[in-house]
Amino acid sequence: MSTARDIMTPDVTCVRSDESVADAARKMVELDVGALPVRGPDERLKGMLTDRDIVVRVVAEGRDPAACTAGELVRGELVTVGADDPLQRVLELMADRRIRRVPVIDGDVLVGIIAQADVARRLPDSTVGDLVADVSRPPA
């Protein structure tokens, strides 16, 4: 059976919680990604910062991206999967929680990330379609 490790993107760049949102946005542009994991001063994973977070919670509110930190935008429960978790569990978690990206950990160490694009590249179209539909459904 396939595991999270089999489809994850292993090279993950993080943003520190004390880095500015402007710096985080520049990293996203350089890496051509829509989200970055956020690490705290203790190097532990604190959450995810998305390009949507930046637009909705900084730009639209007229806040200065150079004065806001990535850590200020982290909210809610951090959802992760284990590197050796079965792929079916990962897909169910993404669908149930309606999340497009999930950090992959081995113990307490971030070892990768799984995004919808990873699923699309490696799994059958029907599985991809089901995941996209589940993640995109409106809240109940």
Residue 55: what pLDDT?
96
**pLDDT single digits (tens) 19-76:** 999 999 999 999 999 999 999 998 889 999 999 999 999 999 999 999 999 999 998 8
Residue 132: what pLDDT?
65
In the predicted structure, residue 134 carries a pLDDT above the cut 80: no
Report H helices in 1-140.
4-7, 21-31, 51-54, 70-73, 87-97, 116-122, 125-136
84: three-class secondary structure by DSSP: coil
In the predicted structure, residue 124 carries a pLDDT above the cut 90: no
More confident residue, 137 or 30: 30
In the predicted structure, residue 1 carries a pLDDT above the cut 70: no
pTM of the model: 0.85
Residue 108: what pLDDT?
85
Q: E strand or H helix at 112, and its extent? A: strand 109-115
CA 2/CA 85 separation, integer angstroms: 9
Taking all residues of the chain, what is their mean pLDDT, rounded to a whole number?
90
- Report how far apart, in Å, the C-alpha atoms of 58 and of each of 28, 100, 112 are: 16, 21, 27
Say if domain 4-136 classifies as CATH 3.40.190.10.
no
Boundaries of every domain in the chain: 4-136
C-beta neighbour count of 73 within 10 angstroms: 21
Q: Which whole number is the average pLDDT over 74-82?
A: 91
- 3-state DSSP helix/strand/coil % of the chain, to nearest 5: 40, 25, 35
CA 80/CA 61 separation, integer angstroms: 29
Buried b or exposed e, range 1-27, using 16+ CB within 10 angstroms: eebbbebbeeebebbbbebbbebbbeb
Backbone angles phi, psi at 48, to 5 degrees: -120, 140
